[in-house]
Amino acid sequence: MRLSTAVSCVFLAVFSLLNSAHAIVFFSQGNDYNLTNPGGSLPWDNVVQIRSSTGPTGSGVYLGNGYVLTAGHVGPVDNVRIGSTDFALDPAAPISIGTSDMKLVHLASDPGLGSVRLNTSTLVDTSSSYGSAYLVGYGVGRVPGSLLNTSPVTWGDVNTVAKRWGTNTIDGSMNNITVGGFTSNLLFTQFNTDVGDTEAALTLYDSGSALFRYTGSEWMLVGLGVYVEGNGSSAASTQGDSANSEDNYFIRISSYANAPDQIGAVLVPEPCSWHLLLGGLLFLGLFAFRRSFHREA
């Protein structure tokens, strides 16, 4: 898969320039494909659109407890569109996730969605046998009528933005990569013909898109789209040649799921005053009962 960014940065001394993630397109299908939930309990509804007052700025994943995860470089973030409804944010500032290119924003109201399971096992996404994954995000498609299996791909404008899903193969991982002031642990994919017609890439407004894998008996969020190798646009290899395919990069969620100051800890709801009051009353009631019991004994 491929991602594009607004700012080009040197990817160590080995890689080409990386740009911020853009949107999902497919290797040989047009803009009107894969626009609906593919089923199988994929958390399709939890992938949301990040918006400013003037239009889309990226993608995000609703994790639960009112929190939406997106790329740190996505912005401005004025509201979040879920389905056809725009949800306002509460006044709190976004929460940065360590030094990574990720942040959490909090909705002012409950969207009525279930939670998404975060991948916490490095064995799932950093083993020697990487597996295929589903990518879901909002972004531009290709220019209508243009061929996708050409390099470079010709991307469309804001009128081609849509929520789409596609597939790709996780090819590897790397740690402590610095791009645009963020230092992150990453997974990467390639945009070629390995997966067939549904092979997908990232383009404009796909920063913050979801990379899901079905592990065991459930879907897990294993990656968050952030960068594309190259000059700011994804390019496909027409021969399926991995050596000539640009890479797309995703934050490796397992690196940031469980640390005390990271995603999992933020998602745990703080006790509200009513819960504290109820807990205090229960404690006092138990204390009075114990004293009464001792007196009668």
**Where is pLDDT greater, at 209 or 265?**
209
pLDDT, one tens digit per residue, over 50-83 is 999 999 999 999 999 999 999 999 999 999 999 9
d(CA 152, CA 233): 7
The closest of 225, 269, 248, 258 to 118, measured between CA atoms, is: 258
The amino acid present at 33, given as its one-letter code, is Y
Q: In whole angstroms, what separates CA 76 from the centre of its chain?
A: 17
User: pTM score, two decimals?
Assistant: 0.80
* Domains assigned to the chain: 9-264 (2.40.10.120)
Residue 62 vs residue 258, higher pLDDT: 62
> Does the pLDDT at position 13 exceed 80?
no
Question: 26 or 250, which is more confident?
Answer: 250
The per-residue pLDDT for 45 is 97
Which of 200, 181, 180, 198 lies closest to 190 in space, CA to CA? 200
Three-class SS of residue 280? helix
Q: Tokens 């999902």, residue? A: 24
Which tens digit of pLDDT belongs to each residue from 265-283?
Answer: 888 764 444 344 444 444 4
Please write the tens of the pLDDT for every residue from 106-163. Answer: 999 999 999 999 998 887 876 666 778 999 999 888 777 665 555 556 777 888 899 9
Helix (H) or strand (E) holding 267: helix 263-267
What's the mean pLDDT in 157-178?
90
Bridge pairing between strands 67-71 and 102-106: antiparallel
